[in-house]
């Protein structure tokens, strides 16, 4: 059910959960002052309680009073990338933020989103927790219809159209004398070089314990099984997720992400295409992963790998 900004403000103030557009993906929003609404988010998403939530605010000033100590280069990052698809994990004064939001960690993830409707809302409501608006483990929502599909057609969603980026924010954490990327996202590692003077190291999720608790769980995966392939030489039939500027075997049905020559456009279509697979009840699909894993395509590659791991 589509709602206006005014209705969204009223519902959030009354302790309800609503779908909210951001430039990355849609979020499930609740006020940080309403603990029962925060609980309901975990229930709605079927999200494990040890996976903390991102707090979204309208401006940097809104987070300063929560912070414990000073973190180097915070202002530089905030000035360079907020509002925008960057989330920063920072040490906080624990008693000021409900343990449910932090999943009992001494840190909190913060973000200032760029979508005008999200910003308008945040200015009126104050800080909102907003995990991605999808069932835990499945593809995120980049359109109001996706939110309604996952949570029912009567679920209140503020309609901000299709998300411009279509990938979640990049999450940074300061560690061992430098910033690290603990979840790849809509901002490529290279984007931070001009501001920081170095490229933040990407923390690998495999092998070591992920710093981003969400990294422990199934993620972004449709019900259909995804098989990642470098070459289509031996494939004669089936469904392919690929690129519109490439040729694939004639007997296959191709779901095109867009032309590889336009990486931003390609990644913005990822979740809609993964959802389309399930809607059309395909059980299996091949995915073309024969591309250079640099810039935003490094995030695409990570998402496709995670999505192919399934349950
Ligand atoms: O683009 C986005 O970030 C979207 C939009 C709605 O803003 N939100 C989003 O939230 O992707 P969610 O909950 O789906 O993913 C947040 C990730 C989770 O993997 C969680 O483990 C991690 O952030 N996270 C949250 N708090 C953290 C913390 N204190 N330390 C490390 N990771 C944290
Ligand atoms: Mg998510």
User: What's the whole-number mean pLDDT along residues 77-86?
Assistant: 98
Query: Whole-number mean pLDDT of the chain?
Result: 96
Ligand 1 closest atom vs CA 27: 6
* pTM listed for this prediction: 0.97
Q: Is the pLDDT of residue 74 over 80?
A: yes
pLDDT in tens, 215-256: 888 889 999 999 999 999 999 999 999 999 999 999 999 999
* CB of 53 closer than 6 angstroms to any ligand 1 atom: yes
Q: For position 219, what pLDDT does the model report?
A: 87
Closest C-alpha to ligand 1, atom 29: 108
Q: For position 42, what pLDDT does the model report?
A: 98
Give the ligand whose atoms come closest to the C-alpha of residue 212: 1
Closest C-alpha to ligand 1, atom 10: 131
What is the pLDDT confidence band of residue 12, given thresholds at 50, 70 and 90? Answer: very high
Distance 183 CA to ligand 1 centre (A): 8
* CB of 19 closer than 6 angstroms to any ligand 1 atom: no
Burial (CB count within 10 angstroms: exposed 0-12, middle 13-18, buried 19+), residue 239: buried
Q: Is the pLDDT of residue 207 over 70?
A: no
What is the pLDDT confidence band of residue 208, given thresholds at 50, 70 and 90? Answer: low
* CB of 25 closer than 6 angstroms to any ligand 1 atom: yes
Distance 252 CA to ligand 2 centre (A): 31
Give the ligand whose atoms come closest to the C-alpha of residue 27: 1
User: What's the whole-number mean pLDDT along residues 265-291?
Assistant: 98
Contact criterion met (CB below 8 Å) for 154 and 68: no
* CB of 87 closer than 6 angstroms to any ligand 1 atom: yes
* CB of 212 closer than 6 angstroms to any ligand 1 atom: yes
The owner of tokens 């591309």 is 291
Pairing between β-strand 54-56 and β-strand 107-111 as defined by DSSP bridges: parallel
Distance 26 CA to ligand 2 centre (A): 10
Q: Using CA atoms, how far apart are residues 5 and 10, in angstroms rounded to an integer?
A: 9
Task: Count CA atoms closer than 13 A to 100's CA, side-chain side.
Answer: 18
Burial (CB count within 10 angstroms: exposed 0-12, middle 13-18, buried 19+), residue 65: exposed
In percent, the amount of the chain with pLDDT more than 90 equals: 93
Q: For position 93, what pLDDT does the model report?
A: 98
206 versus 265: which is more confidently predicted? 265
* CB of 268 closer than 6 angstroms to any ligand 1 atom: no
Q: Using CA atoms, how far apart are residues 289 and 228, in angstroms rounded to an integer?
A: 6
Query: Three-state DSSP class for 104?
Result: coil
Ligand 1 closest atom vs CA 28: 6
Closest C-alpha to ligand 1, atom 15: 131
What is the pLDDT confidence band of residue 111, given thresholds at 50, 70 and 90? Answer: very high
Distance 194 CA to ligand 2 centre (A): 28
């Amino acid at each position: 059910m589509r709602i206006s900004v005014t209705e969204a403000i009223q519902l959030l103030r009354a302790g309800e959960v609503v779908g909210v557009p951001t430039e990355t993906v849609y979020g499930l929003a609740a006020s940080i002052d309403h603990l029962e609404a925060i609980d309901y988010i975990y229930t709605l998403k079927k999200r494990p309680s040890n996976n903390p939530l991102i707090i979204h605010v309208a401006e940097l000033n809104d987070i300063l009073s929560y912070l414990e100590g000073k973190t180097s280069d915070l202002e530089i990052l905030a000035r360079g990338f907020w509002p925008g698809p960057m989330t920063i994990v920072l040490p906080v004064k624990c008693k000021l933020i409900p343990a449910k939001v932090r999943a009992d960690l001494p840190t909190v993830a913060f973000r200032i989103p760029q979508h005008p409707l999200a910003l308008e809302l945040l200015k009126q409501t104050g800080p909102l927790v907003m995990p991605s608006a999808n069932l835990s483990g499945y593809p995120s929502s980049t359109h109001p219809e996706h939110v309604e599909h996952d949570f029912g057609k009567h679920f209140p969603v503020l309609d901000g159209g299709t998300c411009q980026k279509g990938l979640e924010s990049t999450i940074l954490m300061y560690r061992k004398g430098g910033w690290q990327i603990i979840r790849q996202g809509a901002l490529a590692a290279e984007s931070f070089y001009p501001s920081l003077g170095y490229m933040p190291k990407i923390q690998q999720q495999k092998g070591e314990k992920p710093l981003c608790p969400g990294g422990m769980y199934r993620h972004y995966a449709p019900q259909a099984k995804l098989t990642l392939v470098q070459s289509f030489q031996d494939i004669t039939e089936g469904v392919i997720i690929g690129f519109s500027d490439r040729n694939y075997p004639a007997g296959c049905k191709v779901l095109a992400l867009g032309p590889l020559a336009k990486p931003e456009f390609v990644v913005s279509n990822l979740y809609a295409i993964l959802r389309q697979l399930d809607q059309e009840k395909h059980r299996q699909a091949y995915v073309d992963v024969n591309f250079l894993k640099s810039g935003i395509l490094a995030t695409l590659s990570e998402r496709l790998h995670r999505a192919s791991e399934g349950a």
